[in-house]
C-alpha cells in the first residue's frame, strides 16, 4: 500500500516531477556517484512505497518540475533540502548529501500511510554534519616541535592510496587501514598530481571535477574532526609536456632561462604553470573556506634529477640556487598572499643524500630561509643502510633548528627488501612494521630524532605493510587515536 493518498509540492502533483542529478561526475570510475545511486533509489521508492508510480530520471532540466540531487558542495558541514520555485533540491557534499537524502525520505516523507501532504517552502531544512577543527596551524607547529624535542612521540603518516585514480584518497586509506590493522596513521597526504590539464591521460581536460573536489574536502574535514592531520603534495604535471616516457611529472625545464620564464608573472609559460596548479588552488581555497589547517609540501625531492622541477636537469645542467629559492617563494606568495591562506604548515622535503654530491646537490641547496619553512625533512627510500646519515643529510637538516621529519619513507625498489619475480619485476617488499620500528629506535639511539614519518602509498604504506599494527601501537609512535587524545587534552 502506498504511503500517500495524495502528495503535492506547492500544489503540483508529485507524479508530474522528474528526478535530475545536477553536475555530479568524476573521472574516477571506481568511486560511486552517490547522487546517481540516490536518484535510482528514489525512483524505486516512489513506485514501491510512496505513490505507486516511479518518477523518471531526466538527462537535463528542460521545464517542468524536478527533484534535484546535488552532492558536490565544498562546504564541509552543510546539507539541505530546499523547496524553491516548485522544485525540491536535495543538496550537500560528497558525504553530507547522504544526510540530506535521509532527511527527505525519512523525515519529510516519513512512514505513515494514507496521508495527504503538500510540501512547500516552509518545509525546507538546513542541517550540519557537526564537524569541528580541534587544532590550529600554530598548535600543529607546536606539536611538531614537541615531538622533535621528546623523540618518543613520533607522529605516523602515510601518502593516501587513491592518488592515481583508483579510489577515494582519505576515505579509502582510512577505512582500509582500520580494517587491516585496527589503526590509522595520524597524517594522511593528498596528492594533486594527476588533476591537471597537462596530465597526458586527460590532456586538455580539467580533471578535478566538482565531485572529486567535494570528496577530498568532505573526507578531509571528517578526518580532521577525528583529530587527524592532512598533508598536501603535488606530483606536478609538466607544463612543457616534454617527458620522453609520457609520465606527466617527468621531463625537463632544461635551463635557468626557461625556469626564469616559468616564474616570471604573465609569461605564457607562467600562465601554463598556473593552469597546472589550478586544481591545487581550488583545493586550497576550499580548505580556507572551511577553516581547515593543513601541511603543504611543494617541490618535494627538489635536489634530484627525476622530476621536471628538480635542480639536476641532466647533461650537467643545474638550475641555480637563486632559481630554486624563487620557485619555493612562488608557492609561498601564491598561498599566503594571492590566496590569503595563513593556516598552512610548510614542509621542505628534499631527497635524502644517498649518493655523492656530484649527482645530487646538498639537501639545503634550495632551502629558502627559516621564515618560509616550518618543518624540514627528506624523502628516504632505504636500501637497508642508514642512508640518512650519508653526506651529512641529517646534520644539514638539523642545522636549520627546525623539526625534522621523514617526509616520505619506504623500502627502495632496488633494496634488500625488494621481492621480484622470475622476470625481475618488482612484486612486493619484505619490509615490515618491525623493520621500521628498528630503524626508528636506532635513529633515536644515535641522537637523530624525528617529529613525524610519512610512508609511501600502497604496499609501502603503514596500512598495508606486514605488522603495521605493531608499528602503529608502538610506545614511540602516535597513531590517529593518540593524536585525537592529544588534541582533547590540550584543549580542555
Digitized pLDDT (tens) for each residue of the chain, 492 residues in all? 578 999 999 999 999 999 999 987 766 656 678 999 999 999 999 999 999 999 999 999 988 999 999 999 999 999 999 999 999 999 999 999 999 999 999 999 987 678 899 999 999 999 999 999 999 999 999 999 999 999 999 999 999 987 666 678 999 999 999 999 999 999 999 999 888 888 876 666 657 889 999 999 999 999 999 999 999 999 999 999 999 888 999 999 999 999 999 999 999 999 999 999 999 999 999 999 999 999 999 999 999 999 999 999 987 899 999 999 999 999 999 999 999 999 999 999 999 854 544 556 789 999 999 999 999 999 999 998 888 988 889 999 999 999 999 999 999 998 999 999 999 999 999 999 999 999 999 999 999 999 999 999 988 999 889 999 999 999 999 999 999 999 999 998
d(CA 284, CA 279): 9
Of 89, 83, 84, 82, the closest CA to residue 35 belongs to 89
pLDDT score recorded for residue 165: 61
Residues in the chain: 492
pLDDT score recorded for residue 410: 96
Q: Are 383 and 390 in contact (CB under 8 A)?
A: no
pLDDT score recorded for residue 373: 98
pLDDT score recorded for residue 44: 96
Contacts of 244 (CB under 8 A, 6+ apart): 250, 251
pLDDT score recorded for residue 246: 85
Taking CA atoms, 168 is separated from 2, 41, 171, 322, 456, in Å, by: 38, 23, 6, 38, 16
Instruction: Name 452's bridge partners.
Output: 155, 405
Q: Are 442 and 397 in contact (CB under 8 A)?
A: no
The secondary structure of the chain, three-state, reads: CCCEEEEEECCEEHHHEEEEECCCCCCCCCCCCHHHHHHHHHHHHHHHHHCCCCCCEECCCCCCEEEEEECCCCCCCEEEEEEECCEEEEECCCCHHHHHHHHHHHHHCCCCCCEEEEECHHHCEEEECCCCCCCCHHHHHHHHHHHHHHCCCEECEEECCHHHCCCCCHHHHHHHHHHHHCCCECEEEEECCCCCCCCHHHCCCCCCCHHHHHHHHHHHHHHHHCCCEEEEECCCCCCCCCCCCCCCCCCCCCCHHHHHHHHCCCCHHHHHHHHHHHHHHHHHHHHHHCCCCEEEECCCCCCCCCCCCCCECCCCCECCHHHHHHHHHHHHHHHHHHCCCCCEEEEECCECCCCCCCCCCCCCCCCCCHHHCCEEEEEEEECCCCHHHHHHHHHHHHCCCCCEEEEEEEECCCCCCEEECCCCCEEEECCCHHHHHHHHHHHHHCCCCCCEEEECCHHHCCCCCCCHHHHHCCCCEEEHHHHHHHHHHHCC
- Which three three-digit cell numbers place residue 463? 596500512
How many CB atoms neighbour CB 424 within 10 A?
A: 6
- Which three three-digit cell numbers place residue 412? 627502495
Q: Are 478 and 186 in contact (CB under 8 A)?
A: yes
Of 438, 477, 449, 490, the closest CA to residue 183 belongs to 477
Q: Are 224 and 230 in contact (CB under 8 A)?
A: yes
Q: Are 213 and 73 in contact (CB under 8 A)?
A: no
Report the predicted TM-score, pTM, of the whole model to 2 decimal places.
0.95
The structural domains of the chain, ordered by start, are: 4-128 (3.30.379.10), 137-490 (3.20.20.80)
Tell me which residue has cell 577525528: 226
Amino acid at each position: 500500500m502506498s504511503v500517500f493518498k495524495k502528495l503535492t509540492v506547492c500544489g503540483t502533483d508529485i507524479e508530474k516531477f522528474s528526478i535530475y542529478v545536477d553536475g555530479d561526475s568524476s573521472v574516477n570510475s571506481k568511486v560511486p556517484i552517490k547522487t546517481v545511486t540516490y536518484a535510482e533509489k528514489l525512483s524505486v521508492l516512489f513506485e514501491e512505497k510512496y505513490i505507486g508510480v516511479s518518477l523518471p530520471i531526466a538527462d537535463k532540466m528542460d521545464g517542468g518540475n524536478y527533484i534535484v540531487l546535488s552532492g558536490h558542495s565544498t562546504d564541509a558541514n552543510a546539507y539541505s533540502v530546499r523547496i524553491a520555485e516548485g522544485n525540491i533540491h536535495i543538496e550537500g557534499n560528497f558525504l553530507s548529501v547522504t544526510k540530506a537524502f535521509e532527511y527527505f525520505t525519512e523525515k519529510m516523507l516519513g512512514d505513515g500511510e494514507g496521508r495527504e501532504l503538500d510540501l512547500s517552502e516552509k518545509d525546507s531544512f538546513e542541517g550540519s554534519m557537526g564537524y569541528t577543527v580541534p587544532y590550529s596551524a600554530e598548535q600543529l607547529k607546536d606539536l611538531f616541535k614537541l615531538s622533535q624535542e621528546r623523540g618518543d612521540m613520533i607522529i605516523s603518516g602515510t601518502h593516501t592510496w587513491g592518488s592515481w585514480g583508483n579510489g577515494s584518497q582519505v576515505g579509502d586509506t582510512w577505512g582500509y587501514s582500520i580494517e587491516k590493522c585496527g589503526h590509522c596513521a595520524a597524517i594522511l597526504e593528498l596528492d594533486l598530481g594527476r588533476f591537471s590539464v597537462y596530465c597526458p591521460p586527460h590532456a586538455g581536460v580539467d580533471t578535478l571535477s566538482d565531485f572529486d573536489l567535494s570528496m577530498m574536502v568532505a573526507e578531509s574535514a571528517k578526518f580532521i574532526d577525528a583529530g587527524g592531520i592532512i598533508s598536501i603534495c603535488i606530483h606536478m604535471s609538466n607544463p612543457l609536456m616534454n617527458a620522453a616516457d609520457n609520465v606527466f611529472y617527468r621531463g625537463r625545464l632544461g635551463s635557468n632561462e626557461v625556469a626564469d620564464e616559468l616564474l616570471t608573472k604573465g609569461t605564457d609559460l607562467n600562465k601554463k604553470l598556473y593552469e597546472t596548479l589550478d586544481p591545487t588552488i581550488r583545493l586550497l581555497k576550499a580548505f580556507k573556506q572551511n577553516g581547515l589547517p593543513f601541511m603543504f609540501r611543494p617541490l618535494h625531492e627538489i635536489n634530484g634529477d627525476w622530476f621536471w622541477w628538480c635542480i639536476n636537469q641532466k647533461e650537467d645542467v643545474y638550475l641555480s640556487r637563486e632559481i630554486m629559492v624563487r620557485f619555493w617563494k612562488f608557492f609561498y606568495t601564491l598561498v599566503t598572499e594571492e590566496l590569503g591562506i595563513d593556516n598552512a604548515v610548510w614542509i621542505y622535503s628534499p631527497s635524502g643524500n644517498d649518493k655523492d654530491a656530484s649527482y645530487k646537490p646538498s639537501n639545503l641547496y634550495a632551502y629558502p630561509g627559516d621564515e618560509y619553512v616550518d618543518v624540514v625533512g627528506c624523502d628516504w627510500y632505504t636500501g637497508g643502510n642508514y642512508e640518512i646519515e650519508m653526506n651529512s643529510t641529517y646534520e644539514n637538516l638539523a642545522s636549520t633548528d627546525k623539526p625534522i621529519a621523514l617526509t616520505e619513507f619506504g623500502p627502495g625498489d632496488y633494496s634488500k627488501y625488494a621481492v621480484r619475480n622470475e622476470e625481475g619485476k618488482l612484486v612486493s617488499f619484505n619490509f615490515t612494521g618491525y623493520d621500521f620500528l628498528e630503524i626508528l629506535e636506532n635513529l633515536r639511539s644515535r641522537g637523530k630524532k624525528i617529529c613525524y614519518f610519512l610512508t609511501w602509498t600502497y604496499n609501502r604504506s603503514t596500512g598495508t605493510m606486514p605488522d603495521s599494527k605493531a608499528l602503529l601501537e608502538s610506545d614511540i609512535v602516535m597513531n590517529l587515536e593518540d593524536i585525537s587524545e592529544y588534541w582533547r587534552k590540550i584543549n580542555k
